[in-house]
C-alpha cells in the first residue's frame, strides 16, 4: 500500500502489475462504506485481473479505509472524487485506463467518463443501473444509522445493513455520514447518452438498490447489460460469472 495526495488529503492506494510487468491499466473505484481491500482485494478482483494481464490500481476514497477523513460534506461530491481518481492516474504516470466502479464507485466512474473522456478507455459499472439517473432511494436513514450511538436503536432495514457494514469495515461512521450528503448526485438521461465509451453494466438480479442494468444500457450508445444471477447488492461484488464477463469485456476492448 502507498499514498498519494490530492485536494490537500493523503489517500491510500495500491498499484499491482501483472507477473510479466506489462499490461493495460485498470482503475478500480470502490463503493460507499467499503475500501479497496474489502471491495477489490478480498473478493479476488485484483488477483484475477493481474492474472488476466492487467495492471491494477485501486484507492481508498476520502473518509474510507486508510485514507484521511473529512467531516465536511462538501468534500464528497462525485466531481471531487473524480479528481482523486484522475490524480492517482497522474501519480502513476497513466494517461488512459479502463475504469471499473462498484455502487458509489460506479457513479464516480460515470462522472469520470463524462468529465475526462480521453482518459477513460472503457467503463464498467457494477451495482448501479438506472439508479444512476433515477436515484437509489432514501439514504437519509443510513446517515441517521451511522450517527447513532447505539446500533440497536436503528429501525430501518437499509440503515441496519449499512451500519453493520460500516462497523465490519471499521469505518469512521461520521465521515461516512458526511459522504452520504453529496455523493448521490444523479445524472440526467441526456448526460448518460453522452457516455460513448464501451460500457458494461452488471447488476444482481436480487439487488434492490441499483436499478435496472438493461434500462440504463438502453439510454447509452455503446453499453451492454449483464445480470448477476441470484445476487443482491452486497453479494454481486465477488460473483464468479461477473468476473468472467468483465475479463471477456476487457479482452474485447483493449486500449
pLDDT value at position 218?
98
pLDDT value at position 107?
97
pLDDT value at position 22?
85
Residue linked to cell 451495482: 127
Residue 157: other Cβ atoms inside 10 A: 10
As a whole number, mean pLDDT of residues 185-201 equals 97
Does residue 55 lie within any of the structural domains? yes
Weakest mean pLDDT among 30-34, 60-64, 179-183, 230-234: 179-183
pLDDT value at position 137?
82
**pTM summary value:** 0.96
CATH number at residue 77: 3.40.50.1820
122 closest CA partner among 102, 96, 104? 96
As a whole number, mean pLDDT of residues 8-19 equals 96
Answer for the pair 28, 35: CB distance below 8 angstroms, yes or no.
Answer: no
pLDDT value at position 208?
92
CA gap 104, 28 in Å, rounded: 12
The yes-or-no verdict on residue 99 having pLDDT over 90 is yes
As a whole number, mean pLDDT of residues 42-66 equals 97
Structural domain for 12, as ranges: 2-136+185-252
CA gap 173, 77 in Å, rounded: 17
pLDDT value at position 139?
83
Does residue 27 lie within any of the structural domains? yes
The yes-or-no verdict on residue 19 having pLDDT over 90 is no
pLDDT value at position 2?
97
Sign of CA dihedral 231, 237, 242, 244: negative
The yes-or-no verdict on residue 101 having pLDDT over 90 is yes
CA atoms within 13 A on the CB side of 68: 13
Does residue 157 lie within any of the structural domains? no
Count of domains forming the chain: 1
Percent of the chain with pLDDT over 90: 92
Collapsed DSSP state (helix, strand, coil) of residue 118: coil
pLDDT value at position 255?
94
Measured CA distances, 87 to 26, 31, 82, 95, 146 (Å): 14, 18, 8, 11, 29
CA gap 86, 114 in Å, rounded: 13
Report the alpha-carbon angle 65-69-75, nearest 5.
115
Does residue 127 lie within any of the structural domains? yes
Does residue 89 lie within any of the structural domains? yes
CA gap 184, 235 in Å, rounded: 21
Does residue 171 lie within any of the structural domains? no
Weakest mean pLDDT among 11-25, 35-49, 58-72: 11-25
Does residue 203 lie within any of the structural domains? yes
* Helix runs in 4-77, H state only: 36, 45-51
Does residue 172 lie within any of the structural domains? no
All three cell numbers of 118? 480521453
Q: What is the DSSP letter of 61?
A: P
- In three-state form (DSSP H/G/I as H, E/B as E, the rest C), the secondary structure along 33-45 is CCCHHHHHHCCCH
Report pLDDT digits (tens) over 141-192.
999 999 999 999 999 998 998 999 999 988 999 999 999 988 989 999 999 9
Amino acid at each position: 500500500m502507498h499514498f498519494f495526495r490530492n485536494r490537500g488529503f493523503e489517500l491510500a492506494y495500491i498499484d499491482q502489475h501483472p507477473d510479466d510487468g506489462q499490461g493495460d491499466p485498470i482503475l478500480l473505484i470502490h463503493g460507499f462504506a467499503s475500501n479497496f481491500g474489502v471491495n477489490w482485494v478480498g473478493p479476488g478482483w485484483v488477483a484475477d485481473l493481474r492474472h488476466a494481464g492487467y495492471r491494477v490500481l485501486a484507492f481508498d476514497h476520502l473518509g474510507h479505509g486508510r485514507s484521511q477523513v473529512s467531516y465536511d460534506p462538501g468534500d464528497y461530491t462525485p466531481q471531487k472524487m473524480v479528481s482523486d481518481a484522475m490524480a492517482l492516474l497522474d501519480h502513476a504516470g497513466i494517461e488512459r485506463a479502463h475504469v471499473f466502479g462498484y455502487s458509489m464507485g460506479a457513479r464516480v466512474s460515470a462522472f469520470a467518463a463524462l468529465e475526462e473522456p480521453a482518459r477513460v478507455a472503457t467503463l464498467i459499472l457494477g451495482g448501479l443501473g438506472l439508479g444512476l439517473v433515477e436515484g437509489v432511494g432514501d439514504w437519509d436513514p443510513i446517515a441517521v444509522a451511522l450517527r447513532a450511538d447505539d446500533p440497536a436503536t436503528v429501525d430501518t432495514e437499509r440503515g441496519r445493513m449499512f451500519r453493520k457494514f460500516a462497523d465490519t469495515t471499521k469505518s469512521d461512521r461520521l465521515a461516512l455520514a458526511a459522504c452520504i450528503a453529496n455523493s448521490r448526485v444523479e445524472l440526467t438521461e441526456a448526460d448518460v447518452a453522452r457516455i460513448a465509451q464501451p460500457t458494461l453494466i452488471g447488476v444482481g438480479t436480487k439487488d434492490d438498490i441499483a436499478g435496472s442494468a438493461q434500462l440504463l444500457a438502453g439510454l447509452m450508445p455503446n453499453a451492454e447489460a449483464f445480470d448477476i444471477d441470484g445476487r443482491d447488492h452486497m453479494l454481486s461484488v465477488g460473483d464468479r460469472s461477473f468476473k468472467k464477463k468483465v475479463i471477456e469485456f476487457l479482452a474485447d476492448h483493449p486500449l
